[in-house]
């Protein structure tokens, strides 16, 4: 993406827009920062590791950030607002948990099953949801999430119903020449480093996708779907591929979360979908690193405020409203717009 919004005006003076335009000028990733996001994520992981006293919270920040970053592939880069991104996250957790319970304790196998199964699920869900645009697309994603919630509630023999999927064994991590136990309670540092490595690799893959020809087409669709279709691109295929990638990333994050807690609980999917959407918007829709900032902010606020206020959600909601009104480009946009070289350039330009 560039910092300049593409001119989509037509010959008769009208303006064409994508069904949902989620990113505006000024929120895109500056060219010099695209791959620098990996360094920023590594730095953020180090800061979180040494400053967050609760190891589970520190690991959870990385997992939620990964989940939110996958959603931002839809929201910020594709202009598709999904209210149901909790479905692949939650069912990815079930897939990994069932794998660890009944098949093997291999972490690689559990995460692979969670990722691939949610990619397959996303093919079917996306094929239906993408038949509609704008708010109808968003409502369809929410409907599928609620359907998944009630299936998990009723299918007690597999999911445990209200009681959840408990007793998930500690996974084992095979590396060349050594086999390690990924126990978040017994050795939280190892689990944190493993999670950070997985998150950084996946973020690199997401950046590669956004910089690929298909990723460029995705951003063109966001700006003007009719013009992209007129150029000969199959817009539905590009959107479906993006939907599947976002679902696979959510499934991977759900698998990591199940391994972290050794438990998969049944939570309201509409609530989970809203939380991850808040993280993406708060962090900034113009980058893949921004949602990690949103995850850090939201989870730390939740951790601190919930210890002192029973209605902490009201305070978090008020903070979110203020942030959106003050800097709608999110924390990432605020960071890049106030970078030293940007400020220096503005000062020089005003002379």
All domains in the chain, ordered by first residue:
31-344 (1.10.3470)
**Nearest 5°: phi and psi at 54?**
-90, 110
| pLDDT tens for each residue of the chain, 351 residues long | 333 333 434 444 434 444 433 344 344 555 556 788 999 999 999 999 999 999 999 999 999 999 999 999 999 999 999 999 999 999 999 999 999 999 999 999 999 999 999 999 999 999 999 999 889 999 999 999 999 999 999 999 999 998 989 889 999 999 998 999 999 999 999 999 999 999 999 999 999 999 999 999 999 999 988 999 999 999 999 999 999 999 999 999 999 999 999 999 888 888 899 999 999 999 998 889 999 999 999 999 999 999 988 888 899 999 999 988 988 888 988 888 775 545 545 545 555
Q: 284-301 burial string, b = 16+ CB within 10 Å, else e? A: bbbbbbbbbbbbbbbbeb
Q: Which residues pair with 172 in a beta bridge?
A: 106, 181
């Amino acid at each position: 993406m560039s910092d300049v919004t593409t001119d989509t005006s037509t010959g008769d003076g009208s303006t064409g827009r994508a069904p949902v335009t989620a990113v505006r000028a000024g929120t895109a990733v500056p060219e010099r920062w695209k791959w620098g996001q990996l360094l920023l994520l590594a730095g953020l992981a180090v800061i979180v590791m040494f400053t967050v006293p609760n190891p589970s919270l520190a690991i959870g920040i990385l997992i939620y950030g990964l989940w939110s970053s996958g959603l931002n592939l839809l929201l910020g880069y594709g202009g598709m607002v999904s209210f149901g991104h909790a479905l692949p996250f939650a069912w990815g957790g079930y897939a990994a948990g069932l794998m660890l319970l009944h098949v093997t304790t291999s972490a690689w196998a559990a995460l692979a099953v969670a990722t691939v199964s949610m990619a397959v699920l996303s093919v079917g869900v996306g094929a239906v949801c993408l038949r509609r645009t704008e708010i109808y697309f968003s409502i369809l994603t929410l409907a599928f999430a609620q359907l998944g919630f009630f299936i998990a509630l009723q299918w007690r023999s597999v999911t445990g119903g209200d009681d959840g999927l408990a007793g998930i064994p500690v996974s084992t991590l095979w590396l060349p020449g050594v086999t390690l136990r990924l126990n978040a309670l017994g050795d939280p540092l190892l689990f944190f480093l493993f999670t950070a490595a997985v998150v950084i690799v996946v973020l690199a893959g997401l950046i590669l996708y956004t910089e690929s020809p298909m990723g460029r087409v995705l951003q063109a669709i966001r700006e003007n779907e009719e013009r992209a279709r007129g150029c000969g691109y199959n817009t539905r295929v590009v959107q479906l591929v993006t939907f599947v990638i976002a679902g696979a990333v959510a499934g991977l994050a759900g698998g990591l979360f199940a391994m972290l807690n050794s438990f998969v609980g049944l939570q309201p999917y509409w609530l989970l979908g809203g939380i991850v959407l808040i993280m993406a918007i708060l962090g900034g829709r113009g980058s893949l690193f921004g949602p990690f900032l949103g995850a850090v902010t939201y989870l730390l606020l939740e951790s601190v405020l919930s210890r002192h206020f029973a209605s902490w959600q009201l305070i978090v909601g008020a903070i979110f409203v203020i942030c959106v009104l003050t800097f709608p480009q999110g924390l990432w946009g605020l960071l890049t717009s106030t970078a030293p070289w940007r400020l220096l350039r503005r000062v020089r330009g005003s002379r």
